Amino acid sequence: MLVALSGGVDSSVAAALLSADGHDVVGATMKLWGGASDSGCCSAADAQDARRVADRLGIAHHVFNFKAEFDEHVVGPYVSGYAAGLTPNPCIECNRHLKFQSFLERALRLGFDAVATGHYARVEERGTRRCLRRARDSAKDQSYVLSCLTGRELDRLVLPIGGLTKAEVRSVASSLRLGTASKPDSQDVCFILGGSGASARARFLSDRVSLHPAEVVDVATGTVVGSVPAVELVTVGQRRGLGSGTSARRFALRVDVERRRVEVGSETDLLRRDVRLTKRTWVHGALAPGTRVSAQASAHGGAFEAVVTDEGLAFSAPRRRVAPGQTVALYVGDDVVGSGVALGDQY
């Protein structure tokens, strides 16, 4: 079995548990990012940590160079997404194209029968099917970022730590004297220096695309109430940093990069009853319109009730609109059944 060793504690324990269970385990680290990085699975230090863990466990370790694929499928779309006024999710695209496409295909070509990762989620047998389920540790559940997977990938996937809490994972790592036992969790956007905040994102994007100032327009009056230094950095639902020049709470409702315009309104204006979805994937076949699901629109967001439609989802009650570019994961109970990427409003 080939284990994706990122250099963090979660994948380290995943490899350790599989090895202890008698599996023939080999570790592999993906070299993804050719630029500077200080966090996540993209730094040289993480690859070194992964190799030390493999040595400690007595398993072979390899490094796979997927820098070109990472730039094409993750970094490039991340940059072009923001340039178009979207809010992309690079972690999901990395899972979609790198971990469960390039990495899985490499594993199969090398003769491995399955791959394993340190994600907090569960793969369970359900008759003749394998289902993706939420993790036991709800605070660490990562089923959202795996929601792009289908039955094809699940048939070859093992998630050893999905039934453990984070505290239990660190305890296992400590008992095995793994060097990653107390290592902090990585940042979400692993290829951006200085974390994943707005300022770090702005520095990263400004080196790759032109950022443009934009006017802020109140939808209630149609008047210009302020400006922002970079329309590309505004996210639908954002409240801070809109320069609206008013004491009233205003939220970004629409981001129009081409017209260099951000429309703002009240929290009530932010509410919607539906969302259109593109890039829809299904774990085991498309759900029929009218099917009731629970949905999640961000990695750490709460679930909300909805009904599947021909174009996406209809919400059971009005809720804040989903930022265009964000993935919406669909669940029935604790089972992931599909996902899609939110489209914006038509101008």
If pLDDT is split at 50, 70 and 90, which confidence band does 193 have? confident
Whether residue 9 contacts residue 173, with contact meaning beta carbons closer than 8 Å, is answered with: yes
If pLDDT is split at 50, 70 and 90, which confidence band does 188 have? low
Share of the chain above pLDDT 90, in %: 83
Question: 3-class secondary structure for the chain?
Answer: CEEECCCCHHHHHHHHHHHHCCCCCEEEEEECCCCCCCCHHHCHHHHHHHHHHHHHHCCEEEEEECHHHHHHHHHHHHHHHHHCCCCCCHHHHHHHHHHHHHHHHHHHHCCCCCEECCCCEEEEEECCEEEEEECCCCCCCCHHHHCCCCHHHHCCEECCCCCCCHHHHHHHHHHCCCCCCCCCCCCCCCCCCCCCCHHHHHHHHHCCCCCCCEEEEECCCCCEEEEECCHHHCCCCCCCCCCCCCCCCCEEEEEECCCCEEEEECCCCCEEEEEEEEEEEECCCCCCCCCEEEEECCCCCCCEEEEECCCEEEEEEEEECCCCCCEEEEEECCEEEEEEEECCCCC
Domain ranges of the chain: 2-118+160-175, 210-265, 272-342
Provide the pLDDT for residue 301: 86
Report whether CATH 2.30.40.10 matches the domain 272-342.
Answer: no
Query: What is the rounded CA–CA span in Å between residue 217 and residue 254?
Result: 10
Whether residue 112 contacts residue 105, with contact meaning beta carbons closer than 8 Å, is answered with: no
131 is annotated as an active-site residue: no
If pLDDT is split at 50, 70 and 90, which confidence band does 135 have? very high
Phi, psi of 84 (to 5 degrees): -100, 5
* Pairing mode, strands 157-158 and 115-116: parallel
The pLDDT tens digits of the residues spanning 110-131 come to 999 999 999 999 999 988 899 9
Question: Radius of gyration (Cα) for the chain, nearest Å?
Answer: 21
Report the residue count for the chain.
347
Query: What is the rounded CA–CA span in Å between residue 202 and residue 192?
Result: 10
pLDDT, averaged across the chain: 92
Q: What is the pTM of this model?
A: 0.92
Strand partners, 128: none
What's the CATH code, domain 210-265? 2.30.30.280
- The residue from 41, 42, 148, 190 that is catalytic is 190
More confident residue, 19 or 127: 19
Whether residue 283 contacts residue 338, with contact meaning beta carbons closer than 8 Å, is answered with: yes
Domain 2-118+160-175: homologous superfamily in CATH: HUPs (3.40.50.620)
Query: What is the rounded CA–CA span in Å between residue 235 and residue 246?
Result: 19
Residue 240 has pLDDT above 60, yes or no: yes
327 vs 95, 128, 256, CA distance in Å?
Answer: 13, 28, 20
- The residue from 41, 42, 94, 148 that is catalytic is 94
91 is annotated as an active-site residue: no
More confident residue, 207 or 191: 207
What the block records as the tokens of 200 is 């770090």
